[in-house]
C-alpha cells in the first residue's frame, strides 16, 4: 500500500480514536515525522481528511476539528433524510437475505466484546444498512455522516443502558425492513436517530467540562 493511503488511514484512526484531541493544532512537519513520510503524502492525507470534516484550516495551519454540538444536531437531520430514503429503497427489494448478515453483526457483540467493537459495529450497522439500498450516493452520505459522528459516539458507548437500547432499536428496524414495512421501518429509524442524537447531545453537554479538561475543544450548539 502506498504511503499516501497509509498516512491518511493512520492519521484518521488517531483522530477518530481521540489520540489527537479535537481542536488540537497539527503541523505538516509533525505528521511527517510521526509517520515517517514526506510532505507530499502528508498533504494529500490532510486534503482528504479535510473533505471528511476531520481536520480544518485554521488561518494558515491545520486543526483537528472540534466536536461541535450544533453540527451533531444538523447531522441528525441529515441522517434522517438519507438513511430513511435508503431504508425505503431496501424495503422495496425482493431479496431480503442480506439483512441476515447485518443481524449477525449485531449478534457478534456480547458482554465480553470490547467497547471499541461495540463502537464500530454501532456505526457499521447504519453504513451497511444503507449499502443495501444499492444507491451509491445515499450510502456514501451515511458513511460520511457516521464518520463525523464517530468521535462523539465514544461517549454513548460508555453507557451500558444506551447500548442495550440502541441494539434493541437496531433489531426492530431490521425486523420491519425484513417484512418490507417501509413506513414502520422509517418511523423506527427516525425515532432511533432522534433519540440517539438527544442522548449524545445531553452526554456531551454534561461531559463538556471533563472533555475540555482533557484538552478537547467542544463547541456549543
Residues at the interface with DNA (CB under 7 A) = 2-4, 26-30, 37-41, 43-44, 57, 59-62
For residues 96 and 189, give the distance between their C-alpha atoms in angstroms, rounded to a whole number.
18
Cβ contact 220:68 at 8 Å: no
Among 29, 58, 81, 168, binds a second copy (CB under 8 A): 81
- Count of residues binding a second copy (CB under 8 A)? 23
Under rule CB under 8 A, residue 201 binds a second copy? no
205 binds, options DNA, a second copy, none, Cβ within 5 to 8 A by partner type = none
Under rule CB under 8 A, residue 152 binds a second copy? no
Strands (E), the chain: 25-26, 55-58, 61-64, 67-68, 218-219
CA angle 219-45-116, nearest 5°? 60
Query: Cβ closer to DNA: 48 or 131?
Result: 48
| Sheet with strand 25-26: strands edge to edge | 25-26, 61-64, 55-58
61 binds, options a second copy, DNA, none, Cβ within 5 to 8 A by partner type = DNA
Question: Smallest distance from the beta carbon of 86 to a second copy, in angstroms?
Answer: 8
Cβ contact 69:205 at 8 Å: yes
48 binds, options a second copy, DNA, none, Cβ within 5 to 8 A by partner type = a second copy
Question: Smallest distance from the beta carbon of 58 to DNA, in angstroms?
Answer: 8
For residue 68, give the 3-state DSSP assignment. strand
Amino acid at each position: 500500500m502506498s504511503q499516501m493511503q497509509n498516512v491518511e488511514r493512520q492519521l484518521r484512526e488517531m483522530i477518530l480514536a481521540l489520540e489527537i484531541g479535537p481542536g488540537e493544532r497539527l503541523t505538516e512537519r509533525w505528521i511527517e515525522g510521526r509517520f515517517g513520510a514526506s510532505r507530499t503524502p502528508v498533504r494529500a492525507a490532510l486534503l482528504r481528511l479535510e473533505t471528511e470534516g476531520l481536520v480544518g484550516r485554521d488561518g494558515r495551519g491545520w486543526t483537528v476539528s472540534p466536536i461541535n454540538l450544533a453540527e451533531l444536531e444538523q447531522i441528525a437531520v441529515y441522517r434522517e433524510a438519507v438513511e430513511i430514503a435508503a431504508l425505503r429503497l431496501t424495503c422495496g427489494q425482493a431479496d431480503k437475505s442480506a439483512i441476515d448478515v447485518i443481524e449477525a453483526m449485531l449478534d457478534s457483540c456480547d458482554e465480553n466484546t470490547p467497547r471499541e467493537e461495540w463502537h464500530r459495529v454501532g456505526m457499521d450497522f447504519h453504513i451497511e444498512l444503507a449499502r443495501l439500498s444499492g444507491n451509491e450516493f445515499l450510502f456514501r452520505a451515511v458513511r460520511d455522516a457516521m464518520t463525523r459522528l464517530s468521535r462523539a459516539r465514544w461517549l454513548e458507548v460508555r453507557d451500558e443502558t444506551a447500548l442495550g437500547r440502541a441494539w434493541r432499536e437496531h433489531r426492530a428496524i431490521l425486523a420491519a425492513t425484513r417484512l418490507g414495512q417501509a413506513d414502520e421501518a422509517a418511523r423506527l429509524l427516525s425515532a432511533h436517530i432522534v433519540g440517539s442524537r438527544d442522548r449524545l447531545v445531553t452526554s456531551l453537554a454534561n461531559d463538556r467540562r471533563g472533555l475540555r479538561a482533557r484538552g478537547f475543544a467542544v463547541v456549543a450548539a
